[in-house]
Every structure is written in structure tokens, then in C-alpha cells.
Structure 1
């Protein structure tokens, strides 16, 4: 069993060595083609290297016995095709047109999972199909949990592409959305284990009615990741979760998921990320940048940074982009540019709140710096253009104690060229007196109808409003 706290894994989390134990099997000499993606940003944005499978051999799952009437045969065939592509040094696992029922899919290095037009991977609603437990995390705390529906651990050069669809059956997950007392008890237990630095291998979260829903797609400690063109519908939990990854491109992806905690993309302790030309229709935030929670993140010490989101359409969601509240390893160098927030043709009533929302609390520590938003438009939002809150604990305020108080320095929030039809406010920042928010600039912000005080700031140093 892979233990996420081994010396090998900690080094990988810090991007020090490319060890690929979970995705082993390639000859040392095996080379893989890559493409370079260069991104313009108001900070030093490194070139992103992503896999190039254009010359790779194809491994249709039908060659391995996939049967659209048999979930077991299809699951076995997908795993066999992935193994064959990995053993060949590089390959494309092809999902042909049709509806293909499957249980969990575990990717390996140098493998592209490709869904042809008209293909649907329909994922089982049975939690037993996502066992045994795998190293994962839940709202920023490391643990062993149900496997994400699509999972890659410590892989190099992995991709999910094509014009097909990945869809989750929600029969059971919809019941688990309710978060009954046994679920909350399990989360409280996990919080205490993490606060006391219990080994991650002891944090087994699949027993009883803990009901910690898995992410739809998680890349865990991977490098050179591409998700392109696919549609993703419904999800048990967060939809796309790059965790402790480096060099990630998410392009022309359409996500529609309106369950509880259905964020679109959650880059967590992940660096060098491009999210572009995507469409989000979410039950929670479109993008939520995170960097782990409390002691786990302080221990791992890997910030999220160099993240660009551009040219995206958000049909629905709580925020266009949220920063936190799981930000204990730090978040820096984020750009949102040329995005439009509009619920006009969403199938559900608007839940749009803020365009840029920074949230933290006295337990998080970490830091936030150098966040930029520009050229964004929205029709109607319940909140505002920029909102910063430093006392966001939700139900956790009374459920668990503060083991260690660490405030979050927030500095360098720059918002410009924004057009909104209606909002409650333009900017609202409530910070702690002992840790003011610093260096905030607003420029060329036009809100046609403001329902409340346009600007409210508490404990902000160097606030510039040139709207």
C-alpha cells in the first residue's frame, strides 16, 4: 500500500524528484513527446509542458472485451487497455461511440484516455466499486477515501481528451449530499486526526456511514496533465481536482454538475495551470483555488501558484473564482481574464454570488498574494465584484476547536475592466485589525445597478479605487 507520508511522496509533493511508483512499469529509456504552452500573465508564468499523443498507438477498449451491456467486462477492458498503453511506452485508450458502464478508472503514465464523439463513460453509483480506499484528501485534509471515479496517482504525461462525455450516476451520491450526523462525525474525527498529526495511513474514511463522497476526477501528485474537449456531467463531489500537480492544462471542457460541493475545477497545492475556453454550469464555485488545510498543508508546504483562467463562460455557480478557504500552504500569482458570468440559459435558477471571493479564517495561516482579475462581465450577481472575508468558518466554528491560531496575510488584489448589470455591492473587504488586507486596486469597474453601499472596507491598507 502506498503511504502518502513516505519520504518519496513528500519529495514529490515538493516537486523535487519525478518518482512514479504508482504508475511504474515504463522502461527507463521510454521517452514521451510533449508540447510547450506559453501563457501571458502579469507575473512570471513558466512555460507549461503537456503530453502530445498525436503519434501514439491506439488501444480501443473493444479489443479488450468491453461490452456496453456489462459493467464488469467494460471496467476490466478499460484497465487492460490502460495497462497495454502504459507498457507500450505511450498510447491512446479509445472509448468508441456508445454508452459504456464502468466502475473506477485508474490512469497510468503516458496514457491518454480518449472519448470519441458519441461516447459516454457512465460511472457506477455503487460506492463498493470505488474500493479499496486510495490516498486522497477531503476539503484539504489528507486521508484514505473512496477512489475518485477517474484517478491518477504520481503519474507523468496523462490526458483525458475527446468530444465524448463522462457522466456520474447519482443514485447513491445524491443521498450522501445530505451530510447526516454520521458524516459530520467522521469529518470531525478527521479534523482531530489531522490536527494531531496522525499518520495519513490511519485516516481511513470509508468505514460505516462516513459517506465522504469521492471527487469525479483527481490527478494526485502528477506532472504534465491535459484535459481537453470532453464534457463532464454530474459528480459526487468536486469535479476536477489537480492535487499537488505541476503543469496542468484544462481546455475546452464543458462541466455541468449541480450537486452539493460541485465545484468545477479545484487546483490544490498545484503549480503552472492554464484553464481556458471552458464552460461551467456548477452547483458551487466554477473555479476554487486551494492549497490544503491547517496542519496538513503547513507540513506539505506546497503553495498553489501560477494559475491562469481565461476565455471561459460561467452559466452558474457560487463564485466565478474563489480563493480558499483551504489555503494554508499559500496561494499566489493567479489571473482571471476575459470571462463571462451569466445564468441566462442554465437549467437551474441563478446562484451567482461574487466574481472574485477570497475567504479564510483564524485557523488557516498560509497567504494570498498577487491575484488579478480583468476583462470580466456579468449580468446579475447576488454579491459583488470583489469580496474578502477573513472569518469564514461555516458550521466548523462550533463543531471543532481552534488548535492553533494563524491569520492569513492577504496582499495584492487587482481588479480592472469589469462590467456588471446588477450587484449588491462593488467591493466588500472585512479583515482583522491585527492582519489588514494590503494593496487592493480597483479600476474601470462599471456596475449599472448597485443595491447596497458600493464599497465597504474594514482594516485595509493602501486601497486604490479608480473606477
Structure 2
């Protein structure tokens, strides 16, 4: 009898605990939607920029020569080794031009560029050894990023100097296979079946990452700055130009601050900042002038994204300026792991070469979910296509259909002013079987736009105090 009673009360307790956790989760979800900017403040309080002890290690003291001719890879390596071995500090790059191969950061090291310093990165792909990295959302062993940190803590790149990848139509860019970037018949490119296509297939087949060997002859371009599985990372004030590929790439990292950085790079896939599988990321006071998306939040691609199964979450973008680019703040298309809690505020977006302000993109091969995107206090001068685009049928590299229908819900734009809105205020297309849910425009004014919206399979589109071409627009019946 006692055993029966014990089992009964144990069962009741388990149910009570389950109900309690369910109610707590539901309450937390409700709190986020009812007061999202409270969560934003909590995230900001969590992300603290790394601090370094007051010791300087000049690369010149380790044999570095300025002038942009001598390769200073060994000097950078020795300075970083000495710095981390002695408890950390600043590895200082003084005024001058310093040529180097890839720079690998270590714990408690701040790579600091003084005003007038410029690091020129080698354009010889053979200078970049194989490391664990990623290409377009699929992990692999490939050329090292130009600045790379793997599984490190308390790291930074700071200062008023310039990071110059020296990429152009003769170096790195033509690897994309496009003639406009210097490719011609007879040159290698990423689209060879043994290169990018093989990598994507390896992700689908769950080939171990260590066996996905690329590098020389594979034409998969490296990222510029990549923090891979790092904690407490900072990049501040530097100017980054002429990147081979994605510019700033926090990958599987936690507590990352990108502050006051200027990105000017108009090459292929030159996204300005791409947090991927990362949590608690703040991007603030930056200027993006790019050949692709200014900011693109990622979470892995297709089969490899389902293997990793990590969200990018708690991403804050504030007080930034977006110029040229395919989109101001973008989520996807590599978003298989999911994206959650994105906050964008106090930004300016304006260029005849900026296609959209806010963009979410995926397809049924990618899948994934984007939820809780909150945008407020944005001034948009000019965009070419639309203010908000949600495209669940994004198609690149041929057929991208599959059995993983993507989901988007809870997207709010508030206090947004647009002088020249392009073709559409809202351009959104979801799936009939899984519509886009809960899109809200509140206190939004859009002028010089051809059509207020073009929407398909969108559930609960609310337009509150929204004016388009001088007329108040009511919520459509969908």
C-alpha cells in the first residue's frame, strides 16, 4: 500500500513540476512579447567587454619590419605567444604598414593597432593553413581566416588602424566564379563540383568535420575575422577593407561586442558582420558599406545546421549606419539552427545601392525558425526594393526545395521613417501550410513607395498608425 501511495504522490509531483515549468516557459514567452526591450536591456547587462592587464608587446620588438614587403608572420606569432604566456595584455602594431599571413589570437590578448597602423594580409592562399572553420554555413577544414581565434577567452582586436585583406579581382574575389569579380575560363572557382558542392553534400551525409578537407585548389574563400567557439570577444574601432569573404564572423561564440568598426568592402559575399550559432552579441556604433548584407545573422545550413542544432540568439544591433548592401539587417539564408531575439534600434540606412532595410530569407531545404525580431527608431533614406522583405523561397545555387518548411513569427517595426521606400513597404511570402505569423508595423511612415505591400500566406499582419505615401493604411484582411 505504501509503495502504491508513494508512486501516486510521485506521479502527482512530477505532473505538478511539469505544469510549473510549462507555466514558467509560457510566462517568459509572454513577457518577451509584451516588453521585448526589457529583455534587450538584460542582454546588454550580460555582455561585458573583455579587460586586459596593462602590458604592451610591440611587434617591432619581436622582429617586425614595416614597409609592406617583409612577411611578419613570425613576429606576430612570437608577440602573441609572449603576451598570453605572461598573463595577457596588448600586442601593439605601431604606425606603419606591416605585411603578414594569418594572425591567430590567444587567451587574454588584445591585438591593438595604433593610429596610422595598417596590417596588410598576404594574398598567397598557400600562406593560410588548414583550420577548423566554416564556409557558407557548413563546417570544414579550410584556409585559416585572416584573423582567427579558436576556443579562446578574453580576446580583442582594437585601435584606430586599418585591417587590409588586399582582396580584389586578381586575389580571392574571382574564386566566387563570377566574371564581374575577375573570373574567366580556365581559372578555378568554388562552383566546381569538387569544391562547394562537395562540401554541402558532406554536410548532408554527416561526414566528420575533420574529414572535410579543402584548402589549396578548392577555392573556398576564408572569412576575415573569425572568433570560433570563443567567449568574451571584442572588436573595436578598427577599419576593415578589401575582405576575401564574410568580414566579421562570430561562430559558436558567446558574449561578443563589435563596437565602432567601419567596414568598407564591396567584394562577393562581403557581409559586414555574420553572427552564427552565437549568443549575446552586440553590434553598435558601426558603419557598413558592403558588397553583400551589412549584417547577416546566420545559424548553419541544411544538413550540417541540423547536426549542430544551435540557435543564434540575443543579437543586438544599435546606433549603426548602413550604406551599400543587399540588406541592412538580414536573417538567413543560412538559418537552419534558428534565430531568436533580435533587436535593432537607432540605426540609419540610406543608399541607392541598399536593397532592403530588414530582410529574412530561407527555403524548404534550409528550414529553421526566426522568432522575436524587434526593430525601432530607424531612419531610412532610400532602399531599392522594400522596407521589410520575408522570403521563404530564397533560391540560389539552383533548386533549393526540400521537406523542411521554414517558420517566421513575431516581427515588429516601430517608429520607422522612410523617405524613399522603393517598390514595396512589405514584401512577404510564406507557405500555405505554415504561414508567416504576427507582423506588426507601428508608427511607421513610408514615402515614395510604389505599392504598400505584397503579401502571401501571412497570418495577423497589423498596421497601427502607419502612413504610406501620405495616407493612413489599415491592416489588410488576409
SS of 2:244's equivalent? coil
How far apart in 1 are the matches of 2:71 and 2:338? Answer: 44
Give 1:142 shift: 0.7
Q: Tell me the distance in 1 between the aligned counterparts of 2:97 and 2:309.
A: 42
SS of aligned partner of 1:319: coil
Aligned counterparts, 1:34-49, within 5 A: 41-42=39-40, 45=43, 47-49=46-48
C-alpha distance in structure 2 between counterparts of 1:216 and 1:355, whole Å: 24
Given that 1:65 and 1:73 are in contact with CA atoms closer than 8 Å, whether structure 2 keeps it comes out as: no
Alignment of 1:66-465 (within 5 A): 66-69=64-67, 74-131=72-129, 133-170=130-167, 171-179=170-178, 182-184=189-191, 185=193, 186-208=195-217, 210-343=218-351, 350-397=352-399, 405-423=403-421, 424-451=423-450, 453-465=451-463
Query: What CA distance in whole angstroms lies between the structure 2 residues aligned with 1:154 and 1:396?
Result: 35
In structure 1, distance between residues paired with 2:455 and 2:166: 44
Q: Tell me, yes or no, if the aligned pair for 2:299 and 2:339 is still in contact at 8 Å.
A: yes
Separation (CA, whole Å) in 2 of partners of 1:200 and 1:449:
49
Deviations 1:39-84 (A, max 9, x none): 965585261132112x321000011010114755521111000000
Cα offset for 1:174? 3.0
Extract unaligned runs of 5+ from structure 1: 1-38, 344-349
| CA-CA distance at 1:207 after TM superposition | 4.2
Shift, 1:363, TM fit = 1.1
User: RCO (CA 8 Å, sep 6+): is it higher in 1 or 2?
Assistant: 1
Give how far 1:337 is off.
Answer: 0.3
Q: Distance in 1 between matches of 2:110 and 2:345?
A: 29
* Secondary structure at the counterpart of residue 295 of structure 1: helix
Q: Give the Å deviation of 1:218.
A: 0.5
Compared with structure 1, are the counterparts of its residues 317 and 70 closer, same or farther at alpha carbon in structure 2 (3 Å cutoff)?
Answer: closer
Structure-2 separation of matches of 1:138 and 1:81 = 29
Match of 2:471 in 1: none
Q: CA deviation at 1:315?
A: 2.0
Give the structure with the higher percent helix. 2
Where does structure 2 lack aligned partners over 5 or more consecutive residues? 1-36, 467-478
Q: 1:73 to 1:394 in 2, by over 3 A?
A: closer
Q: Tell me how far apart the structure 2 counterparts of residues 62 and 73 of structure 1 sit (CA, whole Å).
A: 13
CA distance in 1, matches of 2:455, 2:206: 37
Alignment equivalent of 1:58, drawn from 34, 39, 56: 56
List, as ranges, runs of 4+ consecutive aligned residues in structure 1 with deviation greater than 6 Å: none
Cα displacement string for residues 391-423 of structure 1 (whole angstroms, at most 9, x for unaligned residues): 11222317xxx5x51111211000111111112
- Aligned 8 A contact 2:114 2:161 in 1: yes
Tell me the equivalent position of 1:25. none
- Tell me the alpha carbon deviations over residues 4-61 of structure 1, each in whole angstroms, 9 at most, x when there is no partner: xxxxxxxxxxxxxxxxxxxxxxxxxxxxxxxxxxx965585261132112x3210000
1:420 and 1:431 mapped to 2: Cα distance? 25
In the TM superposition, what is the alpha-carbon distance from 1:177 to its structure 2 partner?
Answer: 3.7
Deviations 1:409-451 (A, max 9, x none): 2110001111111121111110000110111111111112112
Q: TM-score under structure 1 normalisation?
A: 0.86
- Contact 1:62–1:77 at 8 Å: present in 2 too? yes
Aligned-partner SS, 2:343? strand
- CA–CA distance in structure 1, aligned partners of residues 40 and 372 of structure 2: 9
Q: For the aligned residues, what is the CA RMSD?
A: 1.6
User: How much has 1:351 moved relative to structure 2?
Assistant: 2.0
Measured in 2, the distance between the counterparts of 1:43 and 1:82 equals 35
Deviation at 1:106, TM superposition (A): 0.5
Is the contact between residue 177 and residue 189 of structure 2 (CA under 8 Å) also seen in structure 1? no
TM-score (norm 2): 0.84
CA contact (8 A) 1:71 1:102 kept: no
Please give the alpha-carbon distance, in whole angstroms, between the structure 1 residues aligned to 2:322 and 2:412: 21
SS at match of 1:326: coil
Contact 1:289/1:322, CA 8 A, preserved across alignment: yes
The more displaced of 291-300 and 175-184 is 175-184
Aligned-pair CA distance for 1:389: 0.6
Task: Say which SS state the counterpart of residue 50 (structure 1) adopts.
Answer: coil
Deviation at 1:265, TM superposition (A): 0.2
